[in-house]
Amino acid sequence: MSAHAVMSTPAAAAGSRLLMSGNEAVARAVWEAGTRVAAAYPGTPSTEILECLAGYPDLYSEWSVNEKVSLEVAFGAAMAGSRSFCAMKHVGLNVASDALMTMTLTGVSGGLVIAVADDVGLSSSQNEQDSRYWGRFAHVPVLEPADSQEAHAMTLAAFELSERFEVPVILRMTTRICHVKGVVRTGERSAHSAAGFSKDVGRWVMVPSAAGRRLPLMFERERRLRAEAEVSPLNFAEPGSDRRIGFVTSGPAYMHVRESFPDAPVFKLGLSFPLPFDSLRRFAAECERVVVVEEVEPLVETELQAQGIDVTGKRILPLSGELSPPVLRPAIARLLGEPVPEDSTAEPLKVFPRPPTMCVACPHLGVYYTLSQLRNVTISGDIGCYTLGFGQPWNALDACISMGASMGMALGLDKGRGDNEKERKIVAVIGDSTFLHMGMQGLLDIVYNRGNVTVLLLDNRAVGMTGGQDNPGSGRDIHGNEAPRVDFVRLVKALGVRDERVHLVNAYELPVLLKTLREETKIPEPSVIITSQPCVLIKDYHALKPYMVIDERCTGCGNCIDVGCPAIHVTRRDRVTKASGREVDLAFVRIESAACTGCGLCLKPCAPDAIVHVDTLSMPIKVVRKNPAPVHNA
C-alpha cells in the first residue's frame, strides 16, 4: 500500500488492520492522538511522515523552511496547550538543537513529540549519527519502536508521556523502521482541546535568571522519568532457556536479536532513556553474560558499565551499520568460542555497478557539464540532487558537508587561499530549497565580507532529492495549494548582491550559461547566477519531442556522453590512430528515445549534427539542421 493509499483512507475504523510503513504508522498515530499542528522539513528517511499526515483532516500541517523552524512552530502550538508534532532526519536535529536545548528547560503544556529518523547504514546521508545522544544531552525521554505497530503505539504513548511530565519526547526511528511495512491495528481520533496559552514569563522567557530557576525542575523531572522507566510497559524482559548470553537491545536491533537467538533471554528497551538501571541489574544477574546490541553508538553499554553492571557490546560488535543476523551470529559464536557459522547472506551479492546519477533531462546536467569545461576553479557544493556532480562524467564538485555549507566554505576558500592561488576561481553551487533552508545567511556573509565568490543557485522548484516536495520557491504549500513564491532575483539583491552581478539563465542554454560563468568568475566580487528550470519529476516540467542519433553521422567523438544524461547509451567503442600517430578512443552512441524528454542538452556538444528529433527520419538527412535547446517553462 502506498503512502497515498493510506492517506486516502484517514477515517479507517478503529481496529482496522492496515499494511503500513513505520512512517505511515507514525502519521496515523499523530492524527489519532488529536494533534492540532504538525511541521517538518523533508529528509530521507523521515519525509513520508508529513506527506502522509498532510492527507488527514482536522489538523494543520506544513513544510517548514528548515528543521529549527519546524520545531519552533510545534513548540509554539504546545505552548498554546495543543498537541503538536514535528519530524526530521538525524542531521535535521542538529539544526533544531538550539531550540531543543532551551525548551527542555521550559517544558511544554500540550504534548510535543519529535520524530527523528536515524540513517543507520548511510543509505542517503552524509553521516551516521546516533540521535539517542540528544535524550541525554537535552534531558528528554527517548522512545524506540522496533516495527510499524510499535511505531504507532509508541507515538501515542509519547504524547501521553509528554503531557504527564510536561516535556518534549523524542521518538527515535531508523531507516529500517521508517520504510519497512508491517500490519498495524489502527484506532480512532481522540478529541484533544487546546488549553490555551498561560502567560508566565518566568517559564517562557528564558533569560539567565529564569533558566537558572528551571534547571532544578529539569533534574527533578529526570528523576521521576527514571522511576517511570522502571515500571513502564515499554521496557520488559523476555525469558529464555539458553542463559549463557542475555541481550539488552532496542529498536530494530531487537528484531535481529530475536531472529538470531530465539532461545536467549532478552531485555527490550522501548523507553531507552532514562534507563531502568534496577530492572537491568536484575536481568543481568540471571544471565551468565550480557551483550548490549544497539545501533550504533555504545550509549547503553557505557551507562550500564558505569553502574557496575558487567556487559559487553562494541568490543565484539561493529560501531557502524545495522546489526543484522549475519553480523550478530558470528560475533556471538566467537564470544562463546564456538565455530563461526557460515551465512550465505554475509557476503553482498555481486551485481553490475550502478553509480548514482541524475535523471534524464535534469536541469542540473547542463550546469555540471558547463562547470566541467572551466579550468582553474574550486567548486564548493551542497546537499541535494546536484551533489552528484562530484561523480562521472562531470567531476565538477570539490567539497560538500552539510545543508547550506557551500556558501561559508566558498568564502573560506576565498579568504584562505595562498598567494599561488590568487587566480583560482571559487564557485559555490546550491539548490533552491537548500538556499532557503540555510544558504541565505551564507550569501549574506559573502556579501558583507566582500568575498570573491560566484554562486550558482539552481532553482528547480522542488526539494528534488527527497521526492519533489514543495518549498517557498515552488509556489505551492504541502497540500498543493497556491502559495506565495519567492523571487530569487529580488531576494539575492536584497541580500546585497549588486544588480549587475545577478543573472537569470535558462539551465538548458549551455552557451549562455558558459559565457555567463566565464564572465562572472573574472569579476572580483560576489555574483549570483540563477538557473530556473523545473525538476523533470514534477508537474511543472513538460516533456518535448525526443531525440535520436543518426548512425551515419555519429563520428564517435563522445562529446554528448560528457553531458551525463542516462538516456545516452554507448553502443560501440573503437580506438583509431590519427595521421599524427596519436591514438584516439571513439564512443558511438544511441539515445533511448522512450526515456528522452527532448531537453536538447546533448545537441550543443554534438559537432557533426548527428542528433535529431525522432520525427525527422522521414526527411532527407541533408536538410537536418541543429535545433536550439528549448525553453521548458518561461
- Residues that constitute the known binding site: 554, 557, 560, 565, 596, 599, 602, 606
Instruction: Report the 10 Å Cβ neighbour count for 141.
Output: 27
Round to whole Å and give the CA distance between 328 and 313.
11
Instruction: Report the 10 Å Cβ neighbour count for 307.
Output: 14
- Size of the chain in residues: 634
H helix or E strand, kind and range, residue 189: none
Round to whole Å and give the CA distance between 47 and 52.
9
Cell numbers representing residue 386 in the block: 546536484
355: left (phi over 0), alpha (psi -120 to 50) or beta: beta
Round to whole Å and give the CA distance between 547 and 565.
12
Binding annotation for [4Fe-4S] cluster: 554, 557, 560, 565, 596, 599, 602, 606
| 3-state SS class at 59 | coil
Round to whole Å and give the CA distance between 619 and 131.
63
Output the DSSP codes for 120-187.
TT-SS-S----THHHHHHHT--EE--SSHHHHHHHHHHHHHHHHHHT--EEEEEEHHHHH-EEEEE--
Cell numbers representing residue 295 in the block: 545501533
Q: Residue 276: phi, psi to the nearest 5?
A: -85, 80
CA distances (Å), 150 to each of 2, 140, 153, 224, in order? Answer: 19, 20, 5, 24
Q: Residue 53: phi, psi to the nearest 5?
A: -65, -30
Round to whole Å and give the CA distance between 173 and 307.
27
Q: Where do we find the cell 532513556?
A: 273
Four-CA torsion 96, 99, 105, 109, nearest 10 degrees: -90
Q: Any residues with CB less than 8 A from the CB of 218 and at least 6 apart, and which?
A: 104, 105, 139
